[in-house]
Amino acid sequence: MSARNVLYAQSGGVTAVINATAAGVIETARRHPEVFGKVYAGRDGIIGALTEDLIDTSQEPEEAIASLRHTPSGAFGSCRHKLKGLEEAPAEYERLIDVFRAHDIGYFFYNGGGDSQDTSHKVSQIGERMGFPITCIGIPKTVDNDLPVTDNCPGFGSVAKYVAVSVREAAFDVRSMARSSTKVFILEVMGRHAGWIAAAGGLAAEFEGDAPHIIIFPEVAFDDERFLDRVRECVDAQGYCVVVVSEGARYSDGRFLSDSGTRDAFGHAQLGGVAPVVAAMIRARHGYKFHWAVADYLQRAARHIASGTDVEQAYAMGRAAVELARAGKNAVMPVIVRVSDEPYAWEVGEVPLAEVANVEKKVPRAYITEDGFGITEACRRYLRPLIAGEDFPPFEGGLPAYVRLKNAPVPKKVAAGFDI
């Protein structure tokens, strides 16, 4: 059987290491020309496939592809576009098949989180249903760490490291000025339904009384009175208080503290910033001077402080996806399987896409302290290896040197006019 072309695409919020996964896909496919032809990338994720806006990665030299391993964000562009069901929107699937057929694409690798794996699963089904053979492999990626089955998600370890480091450093600042100035610092981190990133902030604490003093998880219903009492207790005991709050913090009735009333492309509530909401509560009750910060894109783009473990695993997931396709597998996703905590060891496994699509993994209650404001030792054992190791990018002139690909377009072959 002759080699067929590959389409790789990135989806959802990007990370510090998603391009390492891209490097794993492209370099591994290039090593097997007897199976894989050219590797194309979808410009801006699945949107590139739907609009036939493809990138020819064969135009990139080996050194440029290798440099993806230390370059953050999505080198080919990402998107938030959720495919509807086949019966609901057959035109989208017909368009995908038209593009796949025109460019002899036999392998589709989709790199993303839960919603993206739903897309991967749907695409894996259309080949058989619409008479076009296509192998589809999902590749895990999400800073939220909320994909099931896999021990952890590429992208999470680096954002966890960034948050833990930031909390420790900010705490030194606040503590040094607390007697006459700021007494409360609040750091808002990502995590709509799962508080893994907020939990990682807990790694900053080394000794009793260290920051963060309070972590607010989406998994624990927020109680104004309990929270404000704890803030006062911390300031009385330590002289200051550092709070890490997940953007998805919510009340017992399910309302987000910061629901802005709008929706994103996946239908999720658009959150408007919980840190100032929490800060206003503290000011109204206690009158403490405070500062707050939103890590936002900084936390997921911080390749300069990426976790060595995360980089290694991100690359390995890309390589494994290609090897699974080469072995004849379809509709699966490679996963990280933890073998031991100490010494930390892991291996690559696989899971059917049907088991991960649209399923969220939240922080277990056993990982959260009884009072709901901290992490347990079991959580620390889980998190510590994921932020371990450094993998610094090269620096030039004091700044990280990141690659910018040519992203040469593939000539179009299908009739234009498809709108998303």
* Tokens matching residue 29: 């496919």
Residue 104: active-site member: no
Burial profile 106-145: b = 16 or more Cβ within 10 angstroms, e = fewer: bbbbbbbbbbbbbbbbbbbbbbeebeeebbbbbbbbbbbb
- Among residues 144, 146, 151, 391, the one annotated as catalytic is 144
Q: Catalytic amino acids? A: 144
